[in-house]
Structure 1
Amino acid sequence: MSEPSHQDNVKKIASIIGDVKFAMLTTVTAEGHMHSRPMTTQQTEFDGDLWFIGDKRSEAVQDIAARPQVNVSYSRPDKGEYVSLNGEASLPTDEAKLDELWSDFYKAYFEGGREDPNIQLIKIHANGAEYWESDGKIRTLFQMAKGAVTGKQAHPGSNETVKL
C-alpha cells in the first residue's frame, strides 16, 4: 500500500476539522511555558493553512511574534475524532483576507468593528498532524473493556501521523 499523497492528507484533516467551531491554539510564552486558548475556527477550506483573527495586544499574538512554533487541536468527541496540528504561525497584514474572514461576530471583540486597529490576522502553516478516529463510544468502550479483561492491546480506532 502506498503512502497517502499530500493532497490526501490535507483532505483527511479537512474532513475532520471542517465543522469544528472552536480550536485550541497553543503557543510558547516568554517564560517557556505552553499556553492554550480557544480560537474561533474560520470557515475557509483547509489547504494546509489555518487562519484565525486575534488581537494585537493579546498574549497569543505576542507569543507568536517571538516564538512562531504553535500547535492547534480540534476535537469532535461526539464522533470520536481528534486532530493535533503543529506548524509555524505568522502575523500577516492582508486586507483582502481580513475582508474574507470578517463577520459581525467579531464586533463583540473589537470596538472599532472591521476598522479596529488592534485586529491581527494569524496564519498557521501546518507542518504535520496527528489524528485519531474511534469507532464510536460504545465500540470504543467495548474494545477497552475487552483489552482490560484479556490483557491484550485494545484497538478502539485508527491513529495516523501525517506530513503536511
Structure 2
Amino acid sequence: MTDLQNEFWDRIEDVRTAMLGIKGQGRLVAMSPRVDDDLPGHVWFITAKGTDLAKGTANGPCDAQLVIASDSEGLYADIDGTLSHSADREALDETWSFVADAWFEGGKADPDVQLLRFTPRSAELSVTTTSSLSFFYEMAKAQMAGEKPDLGAQGVVTF
C-alpha cells in the first residue's frame, strides 16, 4: 500500500461528511462515511431502504463516486468505486453510531435500515497539513529558501 493510500485510510476515519452517488444518476448526496480496521478496504454507509442510493443498488452493485473535502482532516478526494447492499450484521454492528441511531426508531433492528458498502477502485487524492502553525511554517521556510512549500501530497491511487 502506498503512503498516500495509508494517509487516505488514516484520515477518512474522522471524516464526518462526504458526498456519495451512483454514476449516471447525476447527483451526489451528503452521507456519513464509516470505516473500521476490522473491515478493511471498504467505506460503509447506513441509509434507509427508500433512499435513491438504496433503491439504485437494489438490483446489484453499481459504479459509484465518493467525494471528500475535509479541511479538518486535510483530505480531499474524488474516488471511483462500487456501491452495493450489504447484509453483513458484523459490519452493521461495527459501523453503527449515535448518529445512525438518531435516524432509526428501532435502532439497528429497524426494518428500514440498509447498510451500503463502497469499495474504492481508484482516486485522485490530496492530503494536506491540518495545522495552521505548520502551514505558516512551511510558507515562511519556502519563502526564505526560494522554494515551493511542502504542504502535503497529491496523486492518483489504485486500491
2:87 to 84, 93, 106: 93
* Paired residues of 2:18 and 2:66 also in contact (CA < 8 A): yes
The C-alpha deviation readout for 1:21-59, integer Å capped at 9, x for no partner, is 11111224xxx4321111112252373211111111111
Amino acid at match of 2:65: N
CA 1:134/1:116 → structure 2, altered by over 3 Å: closer, same or farther?
closer
Q: Contact between 1:16 and 1:83, CA under 8 Å: does it hold in 2?
A: no
Q: Output the CA distance in 1 between the equivalents of 2:115 and 2:84.
A: 8
Structure 1 unmatched runs, 5+: 1-5, 143-154
- C-alpha distance in structure 2 between counterparts of 1:95 and 1:79, whole Å: 29
Tell me what 1:127 maps to.
Answer: 121
Say whether the 8 Å CA contact 1:9–1:163 is kept in structure 2.
no
Question: RMSD over aligned Cα, in angstroms?
Answer: 3.0
Aligned CA distance change for structure 1 residues 48 and 9 (closer, same or farther; 3 Å): farther
In 2, the alpha carbon distance for the partners of 1:7 and 1:134 equals 16
Q: Distance in 2 between the 1:107 and 1:135 partners?
A: 33
Contact 2:65 2:78 (8 Å CA) reproduced: yes
Identity across aligned pairs (percent)? 27
Tell me the SS of whatever aligns to 1:105.
helix
Q: Count matched residues.
A: 146
C-alpha contact 2:7 2:127 (8 A) present in aligned 1? no
Q: Secondary structure at the match of 2:6?
A: helix
- Quote the residue 1:11 is aligned against: 6
1:57 aligns with 2:54: no
| Residue of structure 1 in register with 2:22 after alignment | 27
Equivalent residues of 1:16, 1:82 under 8 A apart? no
- 1:8 to partner: Cα distance: 4.2
Residue identity in the other structure for 2:26: M
Q: 1:85 to 1:47 in 2, by over 3 A?
A: farther
Deviation at 1:135, TM superposition (A): 6.3
For residue 79 of structure 2, give the secondary structure of its aligned residue in structure 1: strand
> Matched residues in 2 for 1:10 and 1:135: separation?
16
- Residue type of the alignment partner of 1:38: A
Q: CA deviation at 1:156?
A: 7.6
Deviations 1:48-71 (A, max 9, x none): 211111111111111233561111
Can you list the C-alpha shifts for 1:60-91, whole angstroms capped at 9, x where unaligned? 11123356111111112356531121101110
Change over 3 Å in CA distance of 1:39–1:135 after alignment to 2? closer
Structure 2, unpaired ranges of 5+ = 140-149
Give TM-score scaled by structure 2 length: 0.74
Q: Is the 8 A contact 2:101 2:108 kept in 1?
A: yes
Conserved in 2, the CA contact under 8 Å of 1:10 and 1:47? no
